[in-house]
Amino acid sequence: MTTSAGKTFALTYTLTLDNGTLIDSNVDAEPLIFTQGEHELIFGLETSLEGRQAGERFRVSVPPEDGYGVISADAFIKVPTEHLPPDARQVGAQITAVGPEGQELQGLVVELAETAATVDFNHPLAGKVLHFEITILSIA
């Protein structure tokens, strides 16, 4: 049986970056279970699984455009320092903000001036090529 839209399958994966940094892995843990075509995975990974078979092992590299996106200059926001919690008034601090539609946004303080901080609200993996090692365990 091969993967195709509507089929549920289980897989293990290891995710690394160009420099070899390990980002995540579920090898020796619970498999990732999802339904193909339901957009539960990033686009580049889901499309690389189309037509694969149970038991298959492979590697795939997903470019930023098909992963978490390219780095957007619009996601760098200047925030008045007074609006930041005191412990977030330093470069490298992570903050949580509320977006225009009430959604929770994660940001990283990347620059700090006397009256304002620049906060990067891009996804932490934006702009990065994602390298996956995949083993398809089962397809149902």
Q: Is the pLDDT of residue 11 over 90?
A: yes
What architecture is domain 73-120? Beta Barrel (2.40)
With pLDDT > 70 as the criterion, what percentage of the chain qualifies?
Answer: 97
Phi, psi for 60 (deg, rounded to 5): -145, 140
**Mean pLDDT across the chain:** 94
Class of domain 8-68+126-139: alpha beta
- pLDDT attached to residue 129: 98
**Residue 6 — pLDDT band, cuts 50, 70, 90?**
confident
Q: Is the pLDDT of residue 5 over 90?
A: no
Q: Is the pLDDT of residue 75 over 80?
A: yes
In the chain, DSSP assigns E strands to: 8-16, 22-25, 32-35, 57-62, 76-80, 94-98, 104-112, 116-120, 130-139
Supply the pTM of this predicted model: 0.85
Question: Model confidence over 89-132: pLDDT tens digits?
Answer: 999 999 998 888 889 999 999 999 999 999 999 999 999 999 99
Q: Where in the chain are the domains? A: 8-68+126-139, 73-120
Q: Is the pLDDT of residue 1 over 70?
A: no
Closest CA to 119 of 140, 138, 99, 93: 93
Q: How far apart are CA 4 and CA 120, in angstroms?
A: 37
